[in-house]
Structure 1
């Protein structure tokens, strides 16, 4: 079944589009599916390396402002506590937003990209959590895990491959 609003494929039993979040109606969806069978459907566009870098830069600036302001106001007295709190804030930011109906962090929203599973559906909080912590592995190997997004067929970084996720243009 195809969404009549954005044209992206969705499971036949879906009530809402997994990409744009709008309601799917059977009549409109069937009409759209029939119409799109008679024309060439544009393939899904995977978000390239530089779009992802720009989204990460925006997210990094926002998170730095929030966590930096908070730790400046509240003195935890211990670097480990501040660092741990920063990791928790980042985890919740990424996992909650990427598993929400938005399917994107604020940086990704600004760039026009979303995170999906391999069937282009919204990801679960658990999958978003795995994706977030997989980024540590991508970083530990000298950033090569992140650079993979520039070279793989579906533009997946290592943490995307591990979590079974895709980053696509909205």
Structure 2
């Protein structure tokens, strides 16, 4: 298997973040729920230096639900990838090369929080491990590899 390295995974994540930010901004604009998606504030010096924007609790909950639905849902789907990963030819598999379940995707999503709170060391690990796994990949027993859905492993999750 050709494991996906650090920089290609960063690029895929940036694509996903841009797409999710646009989608959440549209939802915020239509519903009026404050989800912290005020792009005009980026031009304001106060916003750049720390800002005064606060996200509502309901808005934070929506952000989490959308994140889980997008990342866990897409990575456990037939695509085995988010739009960013798909665009760069990457898929998410379990350690055997098979498609992951939705619950494993949820676990991987929340394990990314741990990877982030330890000053992003969990993500940086991708650059230094043999199988290019971050801490969240190790905790969820997943791999990010170059390939097409179904090109690795012997069985899918729902076979």
Say whether 1:121 aligns with 2:78: no
Name the SS of the counterpart of 2:3 in structure 1.
coil
Shift of 1:167: 0.2
Distance 2:143 2:81 in 1: 12
Say whether 1:109 aligns with 2:86: yes
* Deviation digits for residues 16-68 of structure 1 (CA, Å, limit 9, x no counterpart): xxxxxxxxxxxxxxxxxxxxxxxxxxxx1100000000000000000000011
Pick aligned residue for 1:73 from 21, 30, 33: 30
* Deviation digits for residues 99-128 of structure 1 (CA, Å, limit 9, x no counterpart): 011100000000000000000000000101
Where does residue 90 of structure 1 map in the other structure?
67
Shift of 1:84: 1.1
Shift of 1:73: 1.7
Q: Please give the TM-score of this superposition, normalised by the length of structure 2.
A: 0.78
Distance 1:93 1:168 in 2: 19
| Structure ID, larger Rg | 1
Distance 1:137 1:75 in 2: 31
Following TM superposition, the consecutive aligned residue runs of length 4 or more in structure 1 with deviations greater than 4 angstroms are none
Where does residue 15 of structure 1 map in the other structure?
none
| Larger RCO: 1 or 2 (CA < 8 Å, sep 6+) | 2
Q: Please give the TM-score of this superposition, normalised by the length of structure 1.
A: 0.73
Say whether 1:64 aligns with 2:17: no
Unaligned runs of 5+ in 2: 35-54, 148-159
Paired residues, what number?
127
